[in-house]
Structure 1
């Protein structure tokens, strides 16, 4: 260990050795020895490691100093910069009122409502509200870190120990003080923070048009800034899980308010949870989402391990995603940061045409333990021309038509699975289970390779922007011996709660289907284990109704009543048809 190496120098005393370490090194030592790692000041962690009850007292006559090896240029005094407050006034060291999730959710949606009736289209609200939330969080957390350092080191700060640097002139308070050209002040501050933290934040605030005064006049932006300023969003007031959940709440609210457009970036969390629980990610595994949207599937994998008692930090540096839309990719990066995930790799780009996680040298795709996605349904003009000579060999089972990219996504994901234990789950329209032509040939090849393990049919109208029934396809590079040459077909079409505009998959519905998947056995009217021989007899279709018959309803009306209802409906249909014909004749549309 680092401490052991330094202690080998006989002249070193333990406290001096510990004082030479960075805050992150001291936290690592605390983790190793089962000590509480939560602290902003090094003195607190050093005291815990040495077994002391309280940190050594810092007196005004002798200030704590940073390691002698630290370049002097990095050590700063407590003189406030533009936007900073003097020691004791920023609120970082005072007792801060905790903000609960309900209060924060209401506060954030009230911010969105400030844009209601403005020239900003509802579909663009997230492009402004979410970056402002992240900007405020960074600045409030920076204030706390700064004040803790000032108190611990008697007026000295060390820039390399801030999680994020907030350069001079880029603080929230500077923007709040702007009396005109407020959009420019916001844009410049966000760009300054991105430039100062290029390794983690470059491009994270997106490309919103803050300086467009026709859409965002100064008064509107001032109202937004003042509203966000009402609450402290630092780490002491709002824990990572609270602000992370509130951010996800906002994403869902924006999805609810835009509906059709929401399908481009949001997957219902109950569906995500079912997919993740089915794949059962383990500590330290690599997770990849080639159509990552707002990052919900990557976060769900972290939460899955956390809920099972594992250490979510084992995923740091092992979460990967690609997203075509710049704004959505930025939302995903902010989402992960606000949930406390410090290391990940989200890249913007067209996955099917230009996969980001690939080697140009040997034309191989990077491979991952877990691959999961909800790609755009039946995407047209997805890049078939590129795949005709795809350097990564992704058309191994066949080349889809340019009218639907469903099986292009499936094949990309299969090629991205790690050998042996790699597994994946993908959301597709149910038409992908039975369509013929090129797709039928690809489906046949995947079945012959024994990659497809589970098919889950979902209820209709669960997803934003489409009333179609979807399915989840689960594939595995190497099936367990008991599941080889078999596919579990699950019919979950009746498991939903009906809503006004959309149906909802409740947690209990997901839990029910998960139990069937894990059991991998026949369940009357619900699930059936089907052999590849039988699927071949059915001409390689995976149409769920071929293998699982829906249960006979208990509320089927008597035959005379059903016939009467049918005749009444037929009469209404004929009346409507006649009315339409009259209208078209009067309008001259019929010869």
Structure 2
């Protein structure tokens, strides 16, 4: 789609005027105003954003075709008989029938069309509501005149609002953007990087890596290949299991000015654990799913297999486990090129779980440079009661000596309390961590603080089960613990219960695995 949706490069993100921000909020409020109406008609918030995706894509494509025609460069991308004017001219049952035919026809097209429209369904069965949405909302906005910043920020805000719809479960696909920004600021993507997210959700990591690149490396400073890597998305690759979420990620990239070529798919639909990666990554940014069990079985170097719905035989993996989080750690480790780097959100159990967890941690510390761990507080994710961390590590060439020399742990959990509404996480809350991380500088220049401490390889290996769930601070009387609301206390209790349940499940899984792998005595 090189000739169809080209736009001027985005202006420096972060330097948006107040007028632009106000206009974005106004646009989001206008788009979101229909959500409550459709929710009353039985359409959940996430489905509403999906329907908006179809219509926004169609309208933007139609506008671009007309724009090219006015410039004397006609280029037809939409199939014959499909255009916005025809859709907007119809009423009642004819509108519904034509719209559903459009969705089906576009789903047969290759590339981005297939990704966004394959399996697309009209979930707005009330023809009056559908007509209002098309004519009074989408149709009255000239999207080609809106800048990349406005379209992209508006779409991201829609996804954020839909993620807060707890009943839909959409929050599991949405990582807090302030956290992603801090992670990206630490790893500092370059125009030469191949950036991969093997569980990309709505595409937040890829988008904010793209935002960082366009801010720190203006288009005029790049060579043609580097510009194409950004504009056409050659630098990015996402994998998402759920097609509906993948289409949201694809549209999210599109509204942010990443325009893939005709047959290129930046977002791949599938299970990243089930196939060999199509590309190797120089940078992995990810927040893998927090579910305990995988729907597959991995056969690792140990040769063990566990019966399940499907079998994935990969000798690349170090150990056999049904724990999806541990499998993603192994997958990401193997996904990296030599000298590639990763920043991955992981739940606490990955740091302390025995058995397969201990084996993976030992291998990771020895064969990779595992250099930084950020301990996160509860209350920042839409899934309540989640205790998580960000692990930073780099792949190195095989060596007899361990590559990890020091693991620097930043405790952002003790004495900190956040909620999604009363005290949401903001980027400035993580600035001290970023300052301690020293992006782009030798780690030998790091300095210990009350929250930031280094642990040597020998110290880590000597810990029981190589437990990396390290904490040295205690909540004191001068912190905010006395001010915790009942909601915050409940979240903390829920987090502890989740952690305990995870440990019990891990023990049960280990006992089951041992029972299948070894004969009874």
TM range (shorter): 0.7 to 0.9
CA distance in 1, matches of 2:396, 2:141: 50
Please, which of 368, 372, 386 is the counterpart of residue 281 of structure 2?
368
Please, which of 469, 485, 500 is the counterpart of residue 543 of structure 1?
469
**Structure with max Cα Rg:** 1
Query: How many pairs align?
Result: 438
CA distance in 1, matches of 2:80, 2:415: 55
Give runs of aligned pairs for residues 571-582 of structure 1, distance below 5 A: none
Deviation readout 1:411-459 (Å, 9 max, x if unpaired): 100101011x201111111122112222122212211224321111001
| Aligned position for 2:340 | 422
TM-score of the two chains, using structure 1 as the length reference: 0.68
| Aligned position for 2:353 | 435
Please, which of 323, 326, 329 is the counterpart of residue 240 of structure 2?
323
Please, which of 96, 107, 121 is the counterpart of residue 209 of structure 1?
121
Shift of 1:486: 1.0
Distance 1:473 1:259, change over 3 A: farther
Shift of 1:473: 0.9
Tell whether the 8 Å contact from 2:380 to 2:418 is kept in structure 1 after alignment: no
Tell whether the 8 Å contact from 2:369 to 2:404 is kept in structure 1 after alignment: no
User: Which has the higher relative contact order, 1 or 2, with Cα contacts under 8 A spaced 6 or more apart?
Assistant: 2
| Aligned position for 1:395 | 317
Shift of 1:192: 3.7
Q: CA RMSD in A?
A: 3.2
CA distance in 2, matches of 1:185, 1:557: 58
Shift of 1:484: 4.4
| Aligned position for 1:293 | 201
Shift of 1:350: 1.2
Give runs of aligned pairs for residues 187-202 of structure 1, distance below 5 A: 187-193=100-106, 195=108, 198-202=110-114
Q: Which runs of 5+ in 1 are unaligned?
A: 1-22, 28-36, 40-96, 150-156, 359-365, 559-591
SS at match of 2:71: helix
SS at match of 1:278: helix
Tell whether the 8 Å contact from 1:120 to 1:216 is kept in structure 2 after alignment: no
Decide which moves more: 516-525 or 344-353: 516-525
SS at match of 2:257: coil
Tell whether the 8 Å contact from 2:299 to 2:314 is kept in structure 1 after alignment: no
TM-score of the two chains, using structure 2 as the length reference: 0.76
Tell whether the 8 Å contact from 1:461 to 1:502 is kept in structure 2 after alignment: no
CA distance in 2, matches of 1:470, 1:349: 25
Runs of 4+ more than 6 Å apart: none
SS at match of 1:528: strand
Tell whether the 8 Å contact from 2:371 to 2:406 is kept in structure 1 after alignment: yes
Give runs of aligned pairs for residues 181-260 of structure 1, distance below 5 A: 181=93, 182-193=95-106, 195=108, 198-210=110-122, 216-229=125-138, 231-235=140-144, 237-258=145-166
SS at match of 1:460: coil
Q: Which runs of 5+ in 2 are unaligned?
A: 10-19, 220-226, 306-310, 483-521
Give runs of aligned pairs for residues 160-175 of structure 1, distance below 5 A: 165-175=77-87
The structure with the greater share of residues assigned to helix is: 2
| Aligned position for 1:486 | 406
